[in-house]
Structure 1
Amino acid sequence: MIDAPSVGLLSLFLASILTSNVLLANFLGTCSFISISKDFKSSMGLGVAVTLVIGITAAVCWAVLYFIIQPLGIEYLSFIIFIIVIAGVVQMLEMIIDRFSPALYLALGIFLPLITVNCAVLGVILFMQIRKYSFPQAVIFGFGSGAGWWLAIMLLASIRKKLDSNNAIPAGLKGTGITLITIGFMAMAFVGFSGMIAVQ
Structure 2
Amino acid sequence: MEHIELFFKSIFVDNMVFAYFLGMCSYLAVSKKVSTAVGLGAAVIFVLTVTVPLNWLLDQYILQEGALKWLGAEYAEYDLSFLSFILFIATIATMVQLVEIIVEKFSPSLYNSLGIFLPLIAVNCAILGGSLFMQSREIETLGLALNYGFSSGIGWFLAIVAIAAIREKIRYSNVPAPLRGLGITFIITGLMAIGFMSFGGMLTGGDEESPSLDSDPSNVGMKTEKVQKESVESTEAVSVSEITAQ
Q: 5 Å matches for 1:50-69?
A: 50-69=44-63
Pair 1:122 & 2:116 matched: no
Considering only aligned residues, what root-mean-square deviation do their CA atoms show, in Å? 1.0
Cα distance in structure 1, aligned partners of 2:200 and 2:20: 13
Quick one: percent identity of the two aligned structures?
47
Q: Which amino acid aligns with 1:77?
A: L
TM-score, length basis structure 1: 0.93
Number of matched residues? 191
Of the structure 1 ranges 61-70 and 82-91, higher mean CA displacement relative to structure 2 is found in 61-70
Residue of structure 2 aligned with 1:24, choices 6, 18, 35:
18
Q: List per-residue Cα deviations over 1:152-197 (Å, max 9, x = no partner).
A: 0010001111100112x11111111111101011101101111112
Q: List per-residue Cα deviations over 1:54-75 (Å, max 9, x = no partner).
A: 1100011111111222324211
Q: Which residue is equivalent to 1:4? A: none
Structure number with greater Rg is 2
Q: Which amino acid aligns with 2:148?
A: F
5+ unaligned residues in a row in structure 1: which ranges?
A: 1-6
Q: Which residue is equivalent to 1:36? A: 30
Q: Which residue is equivalent to 2:111? A: 105
Residue of structure 1 aligned with 2:85, choices 43, 58, 79:
79
Cα distance in structure 2, aligned partners of 1:11 and 1:196: 10
Q: 5 Å matches for 1:1-200?
A: 8-70=2-64, 71-72=67-68, 73-133=79-139, 134-167=141-174, 169-198=175-204
Cα distance in structure 2, aligned partners of 1:83 and 1:170: 42
Cα distance in structure 2, aligned partners of 1:57 and 1:197: 26
What's the secondary structure of 1:21's corresponding residue?
coil
Q: Which amino acid aligns with 2:144?
A: Q
Cα distance in structure 1, aligned partners of 2:162 and 2:169: 11
What's the secondary structure of 1:23's corresponding residue?
coil
Q: Which residue is equivalent to 2:214? A: none
Cα distance in structure 2, aligned partners of 1:69 and 1:192: 36
TM-score, length basis structure 2: 0.76
Cα distance in structure 1, aligned partners of 2:137 and 2:185: 33
What's the secondary structure of 1:196's corresponding residue?
helix
Cα distance in structure 1, aligned partners of 2:158 and 2:173: 23
5+ unaligned residues in a row in structure 2: which ranges?
A: 69-78, 205-246
Cα distance in structure 2, aligned partners of 1:117 and 1:27: 15
Cα distance in structure 2, aligned partners of 1:178 and 1:99: 36
Cα distance in structure 2, aligned partners of 1:69 and 1:177: 43
Q: Which amino acid aligns with 2:101?
A: M
**Pairwise CA distance, 1:15:** 0.6
